[in-house]
Chain A
Amino acid sequence: MVVFDKPKSLADIPFHYCPGCTHGIVHRLVAEAIDELGIEGRTIGIAPVGCSVMAYDYFNCDMIEAAHGRAPAVATGVKRADPENNIVFTYQGDGDLASIGMAETVHSAARNENITIIFINNAIYGMTGGQMAPTSLPGQITQTSPYGRDVKHCGYPVKVCEMLAQLEGPEYLERVAVNSVPHIRAAKKAIKKAFENQINGKGFSLIEVISSCPTNWGMTPEKALKWIDDAMIPYYPLGVYKDRSAQKGE
């Protein structure tokens, strides 16, 4: 009897991610949602530049690799090519989505583009070796903020869900985490809902996933998960920031 199996829409190859990295968990949650909704055959994923740049190898659905920050624009092109059939998701990190791709993020949200964005916020540039991200916390030590992020010098972190919630456009914005079983269960629910919204033509859904990067945070995996509770979540509170259909009582 099989009690634990890989989702069908996830390829049967080992991830390249560091030990303790939570990308693997989020990949799995996305794949489970795709499986459960039966949409693998019409899903097109957009991989970003960043640690998940090779996500196109891990998903069994059609995949496109985008230029740094442009994933929502690429997703727009794919979605508009066949709005009835194509289910389109982007999978982006914090540097990709909240720094170089901020315009694409804001405007795809403002257009209520009918796509699903999975936003990995781990407060650091992972792939390039641990530089300060737009979401790095005040005081956080990184390669390019070696004395801790000085907000007088380089400003404050960007709270993406709070910011996008000010727009008329987006349908659904929720921040989740993947550092504990209850958090992972909630994250799964949110991600599935983000895809359901797209299937139902409701529009732009973004799920911000507070994730860990033990390698570049300089912590053990266990300590990294605790740091999410102790430092990240207090700054980035979990919860639903916008749910237009619920507000309308649909």
Chain B
Amino acid sequence: MAEKVLMKGNEAIAEAAIIAGCRHYFGYPITPQTEIAAYMAKRMPKIGGTFLQAESELAAISMVYGASAAGKRVMTSSSSPGISLKSEGISYIAGSDLPAVIVNAQRGGPGLGGIQPSQSDYFQATRGGGHGDYHMIVLTPDSVQEMAELTVKAFDLADKYRMPVMILADGTIGQMMEPVSFDFEVKAAPQKPWATTGTQMKRSHNVVNSLYLKPDELERTNFERFEKYETIKKNEALYEEYMMDDAEIVVAAFGIAARVSKNAVVAARKEGIKVGLIRPVTVWPFPDEPFAKAAKTAKQFISVELSMGQMIEDVKLATGCKVPVTLCNRVGGMIPSPAEVLDAIRNAAKGGKN
């Protein structure tokens, strides 16, 4: 096994992207994701790649769109306010069926908000974010190791389904250092016969486009895209179950909230409370299955989030509203402490609904 190194989550994303064959990165500075751009700026020129600091997030995502149309594995990264701007280009990327990897190291909002960690872009990420009917596959790492592994997976999924994939991280996972190993399998990018690489006078011209002025044509492209989304829902949902065997109380949390919740679950188990954790690793597609299964026996679900309660809606949908779902949350850059989550678990064990 390759030696483990200590690395920041953001740097692990950048290194993993390079390992995955990404040679084009376009970005615009914003805290707390700057390490990704800094890493790319250092490494890309040395490996024949391109790092370019764009004039804005609008331009950066359009550069991603262009490089992806030209057949390259390409990435950008930003944080919440910047992702709002990039949502224009993400919608075009989705509408043109192009692969791309977008990192959001979330910070508190709305507006300029703050720079401390948050998960309040959950709706934006899982429902689309930009205009029109579309989805991104959304991956939520909870460790530096997963920052690396899910980045490689993001490139594979983006190419496989020809769509944007978002790594939905947060300031904490991006800034923290943990041991990470880059000893994983990397698949080569598939052939891209649709790419605008020049006809070389050997084929008819390729067009990358999201404009369909005839409504029936546009409807058809939407229907076809959603058939693809159904396949993804069936095949690509990822999750981790933790101490779920006999769980009567189920904590749902992803990313940094899941890390905090694990401490609370362990502490509650020591008190004899039958509690477990389901950690969605993809939040689109949302892993409905383990939630539906747990809803048959569990008494209560607790959604632990760094938002005013966004994932809780998916938990309610996945459990068919058969069991009460409560919210344990902090926002604005605050992170719930293990003690706060433990209190919520204790309260649930006593039959409290809030």
Distance in angstroms between the alpha carbons of A77 and B206 in the assembled complex? 17
Chain B, range 299-354, C-beta contacts under 8 Å to A: none
Task: For A77, list chain B residues within 8 Å (CB).
Answer: 24, 26, 62-70, 74
**Are A64 and B208 interface neighbours, CB within 8 A?**
yes
B162 to chain A, nearest CB (A): 15
Task: For B198, list chain A residues within 8 Å (CB).
Answer: 41-44, 61-62, 85-87
Distance in angstroms between the alpha carbons of A57 and B200 in the assembled complex? 18
Task: Decide if A171 is an interface residue (CB 8 Å cutoff).
Answer: no
**Are B63 and A44 interface neighbours, CB within 8 A?**
no
Task: For B92, list chain A residues within 8 Å (CB).
Answer: 66-67
Task: For A64, list chain B residues within 8 Å (CB).
Answer: 65-66, 69, 196, 207-209
Which of A68-76, A146-154, A220-228 sits within the interface? A68-76
Task: Decide if A13 is an interface residue (CB 8 Å cutoff).
Answer: no
Chain B, range 33-83, C-beta contacts under 8 Å to A: 50, 52, 54-56, 58-60, 62-72, 74
Which single member of A44, A63, A104 contacts B55 (CB below 8 Å)? A104
**Are B66 and A73 interface neighbours, CB within 8 A?**
yes
Contact with A along B174-215 (1 / 0, CB 8 A): 000000000000000000000011111110111111110100
Distance in angstroms between the alpha carbons of A73 and B52 in the assembled complex? 11
Task: Decide if A189 is an interface residue (CB 8 Å cutoff).
Answer: no
A164 to chain B, nearest CB (A): 14
Chain A, range 33-72, C-beta contacts under 8 Å to B: 40-44, 46, 53-54, 56-57, 59-67, 69-70, 72
Nearest-CB residue, chain B, relative to A80: B50
**Are B201 and A78 interface neighbours, CB within 8 A?**
no
Chain A, range 141-199, C-beta contacts under 8 Å to B: none
**Are A81 and B200 interface neighbours, CB within 8 A?**
no
Task: Decide if B89 is an interface residue (CB 8 Å cutoff).
Answer: yes
**Are A73 and B59 interface neighbours, CB within 8 A?**
yes
Nearest-CB residue, chain B, relative to A62: B196
Task: Decide if A28 is an interface residue (CB 8 Å cutoff).
Answer: no
B46 to chain A, nearest CB (A): 16
A7 to chain B, nearest CB (A): 14
Task: Decide if B236 is an interface residue (CB 8 Å cutoff).
Answer: no
Nearest-CB residue, chain A, relative to B58: A70
Distance in angstroms between the alpha carbons of A121 and B194 in the assembled complex? 33
**Are A62 and B66 interface neighbours, CB within 8 A?**
no
Distance in angstroms between the alpha carbons of A46 and B69 in the assembled complex? 11
Task: Decide if A238 is an interface residue (CB 8 Å cutoff).
Answer: no
Task: Decide if A240 is an interface residue (CB 8 Å cutoff).
Answer: no
Distance in angstroms between the alpha carbons of A87 and B69 in the assembled complex? 14
**Are A80 and B211 interface neighbours, CB within 8 A?**
no
**Are A82 and B59 interface neighbours, CB within 8 A?**
no
**Are B208 and A73 interface neighbours, CB within 8 A?**
no
**Are A78 and B196 interface neighbours, CB within 8 A?**
yes
Task: Decide if A103 is an interface residue (CB 8 Å cutoff).
Answer: yes
Distance in angstroms between the alpha carbons of A64 and B98 in the assembled complex? 12
**Are B199 and A78 interface neighbours, CB within 8 A?**
no
**Are A86 and B70 interface neighbours, CB within 8 A?**
yes
Task: For A53, list chain B residues within 8 Å (CB).
Answer: 211
**Are A76 and B70 interface neighbours, CB within 8 A?**
no
**Are B74 and A56 interface neighbours, CB within 8 A?**
no
Q: Sort A-B residue pairs by CB-CB distance and give the 7 closest, nearest first.
A: A77-B66, A81-B70, A73-B62, A62-B196, A70-B62, A77-B67, A42-B198
**25 CB-based A-B contacts, threshold 8 Å:** A41-B202, A44-B70, A56-B207, A61-B198, A62-B198, A62-B206, A63-B207, A66-B62, A66-B65, A66-B92, A67-B62, A67-B88, A70-B58, A70-B88, A70-B89, A73-B59, A76-B63, A77-B26, A77-B65, A78-B67, A80-B24, A80-B50, A82-B70, A86-B70, A107-B55
Using a CB–CB cutoff of 8 Å, the interface residues on chain A facing chain B are: 40-44, 46, 53-54, 56-57, 59-67, 69-70, 72-82, 85-87, 103-104, 106-107
